[in-house]
Structure 1
Amino acid sequence: MVSLRLMWGLLVLCVVAASPPRYARQAELDNYDNNNVDLDLNVEGGDLYDYYDEIDETQIEIDTLGPDEDIDPSNGASFEEEEEGEEKNVEHEEQEERRTVEEIDHKELPIKPQLIPSGSGESGTLMGPSAQGGMATCMLCTCLVGSVYCDDLKLDRVPPLAKETTHFYARYNKIARISKSDFANLNKLKRIDLTSNGISRIDDDAFFGLPALEELILRENSIRQLPALPPSMSLIDACHNQLGNTGIQREAFKDMPGLLYLYLTDNNIDHIPVPLPDSLRSLHLQNNNIQMMHEDTFCNPHDLNYIRNALEDVRLDGNPINLSRTPQAYICLPRIPVGALI
């Protein structure tokens, strides 16, 4: 009987030793040291069979993997529910995007200016909003920083300009009149070039209210009266117009301390528009009707030491004047004017 129990105990021991290491408290047989273990078959007075019968079940309890709280179905949605939630989120984002696009489409966009086609009764009229930063003009013209280029566009009026405009070019158009509202409130405007238009009339205060204006070019028009200009001028070019004998106001250039260039060629002018500021460097009066010059035209007859050093370029060729008759009129100049000496 004892032998049977002994054999049965050995069999159970072999089975336990051969089982895979799945128990949390199973002994590691690979590190089992027979020298340190005293296998007593009669464990404290009992046999091996009774010992295994009395083993606490907790010693051989197989550990099971408990559910992770992060993926516990009781604490969150299932995989199918998560997928459904993601689909709803995507659908919601698409709806928001469509709504945003619709809102943009419904916003009022700037009106692009157009030219009235020929045959409609008017030619080249700029259509579009008259302000809004001059955006309508920039859709038709070329805008680079503060410069606006509207050359050769068949315009018959000055287009609306942004307040930040510093240089304006509208050459080779069909503009016939410059009104006082065309350049109103353009406090940064420095240069205006209206070469080769059909300008015949300019309101007298069209340019005078421009505090930063320095250069005005009105070449090749039909201007009969030069308007009042601000004292900030440095260049005035009104060549090839119809100013005549009365087209320039009296002492028009006297209060321009920074005036450097004055070009009045081909205007049928019969006199030199004095007084001229000491800052003047170049005066072009070719092809007019100037017949005489006075001693005080350029010099000061009461001050023989007065010298006008800046004025080095005076053009009087093409006029019916003999410069040799009035040598005292330009003895203060660094150079003799260009013109007929006989």
Structure 2
Amino acid sequence: MRMLVRLVLGLIVLKAAVANPRFSRQVDLDTYDSANYDEDLNHLHLENHDIDDYEDSVIEIGTLTPPDYSYPVPEASLEEEALEEEEEVPLKPQFIPQGSDGSGVLMGPDTQKGMPTCLLCTCLGGSVYCDDLKLDSVPPLPKDTTHFYARYNRITKINKSDFAFMNKLKRIDLTANEITSIDDKAFTGLPELGELVIRENLISQLPALPETMTLIDASHNSISSRGIHKEAFKDMTSLLYLYLTDNSIDYIPVPLPDSLRSLHLQRNNIQMMHEDTFCNLKDFNYIRNALEDIRLDGNPINLSRTPQAYICLPRIPIGDLI
């Protein structure tokens, strides 16, 4: 009977263990012998001791004082630094002598209007633009001026002093002013001058010009043949363009340099032409290849009367043939 009771209790315990894992683990712990427990406990104590030692070592390393990188600066260096600060001086703009009289400043010499040329006009590099400012005279220019434009103003006269000592000046454009006279030596002292534009003025006398000229435009003036120097263009070996349209010229201003490409003489008073005006009658092999553009339309000349005058040209002049 006692045996039967134990068997029934064992079955109940087994059933409960299968149904509840926690209960199974509890039974295992209950049946765990004390000897094994003590051995494991001693082993666990040893491991904890090792961990404590490791933590102590970590703490010991982590609490090391970091090195000091703030090195002291010698007193001599501090003194030198202070001296350098005292020596620093702000930069100031330097005044540059400019202008035809040598008294100009950075913005160019003062004009009659009481302001520097480069404030009144526009200065870009070596170019000075004074267009449409109602000027009645040429303003003093910086000495390094290479190109000067004063179009559509009220300038009436060009004096010799206006461009004195302008050794870098290459181009002058005085289109559409009221110029009636030009000093005959106003341009001869300019060693670099190559282009002169004085069209649409009231000029009756063409001034003497340097041999360096490449372009001359004096159209729309009152220049007569008497107003042009004898052999005025002969020595201009670099002259390419000569424009004398709408003047009062009676004849073609010969001799003309072989370098000439364009000659515009429209609407003048030219009535006749010599056969040697362009060609060399003593040398029929002479060919003037450069001169391709001759305009004589609007003149009272009949080009068909002088056919020998064009045999050396690549093209015959433009004008009346009747």
Given the two structures, how large is their TM-score scaled by the length of structure 2?
0.67
Residue 161 of structure 2 corresponds to which residue in structure 1? 181
For the residues of structure 1 that align with 2:152 and 2:145, how far apart are their CA atoms? 20
Q: Which runs of 5+ in 2 are unaligned?
A: 1-55, 58-71, 76-81, 97-101, 110-115
Q: Does residue 105 of structure 2 align to residue 132 of structure 1?
A: yes
Deviation, structure 1 residue 268: 1.0
Q: Deviations over 1:168-218 (max 9, x none)?
A: 000000011111111111111100000000011100110011000000000
1:150-169 equivalences under 5 Å are 150-169=130-149
Which letter maps to 1:151?
A: D
Query: Does the residue aligned with 1:182 lie in a helix, a strand or coil?
Result: helix
Superposed displacement of residue 245, structure 1: 2.8
Q: How far did 1:281 drift?
A: 0.1
Partner SS, residue 265 of structure 1: coil
Aligned residues between the structures = 230
Q: Is 2:273 aligned against 1:273?
A: no
Q: Which residue of the partner structure matches residue 284 of structure 2? A: 304
Aligned partner of 2:226 among 246, 250, 253? 246
CA displacement 1:285-313 (0-9 Å, x = unmatched) = 00000000001100011111111100000
- 1: CA distance, partners of 2:320 / 2:295: 10
Higher helix share: 2
- C-alpha displacement of 1:131: 2.8
Deviation string 1:221-270 (CA, Å, 9 cap, x unpaired) is: 00111010000000000000011231111100000000000000001111
Correspondent of 2:235 among 255, 261, 273:
255
Q: How high is the sequence identity, in percent, across the aligned residues?
A: 73
Q: Is the 8 A contact 2:246 2:267 kept in 1?
A: yes
Letter in 1 for 2:178: G
Cα deviation code 1:35-84 (max 9, x no counterpart): xxxxxxxxxxxxxxxxxxxxxxxxxxxxxxxxxxx8xxxxx9xxxxxxxx
- SS of the residue corresponding to residue 314 of structure 1 reads strand
Q: Is the 8 A contact 1:244 1:267 kept in 2?
A: yes
Say whether 1:215 aligns with 2:195.
yes
Distance verdict in 2 for CA 1:139–1:333, change over 3 Å: same
| Gap regions ≥5 residues in structure 1 | 1-29, 32-69, 71-75, 77-88, 111-128
Letter paired with 1:159: P
The CA deviation string for residues 113-156 of structure 1, in whole angstroms up to 9 with x for no partner, is: xxxxxxxxxxxxxxxx9633625110111111000000000001
Where does residue 322 of structure 1 map in the other structure? 302
CA contact (8 A) 1:271 1:289 kept: yes
Query: Which amino acid in the other structure matches residue 104 of structure 2?
Result: A
Q: In structure 1, the residue corresponding to 2:119 is in which secondary structure?
A: helix
> Aligned partners of 1:226 and 1:148: how far apart in 2?
24
Whole-Å separation in 2 of the counterparts to 1:167 and 1:108? 24
Letter in 2 for 1:196: A
1:108 Cα deviation from its structure 2 partner: 12
1:240–1:265 contact (8 Å) kept in structure 2:
yes
Q: Could you tell me which residue of structure 2 aligns to residue 116 of structure 1?
A: none
Query: For residue 131 of structure 1, what is the amino acid of its counterpart?
Result: G
Partner of 2:314: 334
CA-to-partner distance for each residue in 1:272-295, whole Å, 9 max, x for gaps?
000000000000000000000001
Distance 1:206 1:192, change over 3 A: same
**Contact 1:154 1:173 (C-alpha < 8 Å) held by counterparts:** yes
Report if the CA contact (8 A) 1:313-1:335 is conserved: yes
Matches within 5 A, 1:27-106: none
State the superposition RMSD in angstroms: 2.7
- Residues 1:282 and 2:255 are matched in the alignment: no
Secondary structure at 1:324's aligned position in 2?
helix
- Contact map agreement 1:290 1:320 (CA 8 A) in 2: yes
Q: Is the 8 A contact 1:225 1:247 kept in 2?
A: yes
Q: CA deviation at 1:321?
A: 0.3
Q: TM-score, normalised by structure 1?
A: 0.63
What is aligned with 1:36? none
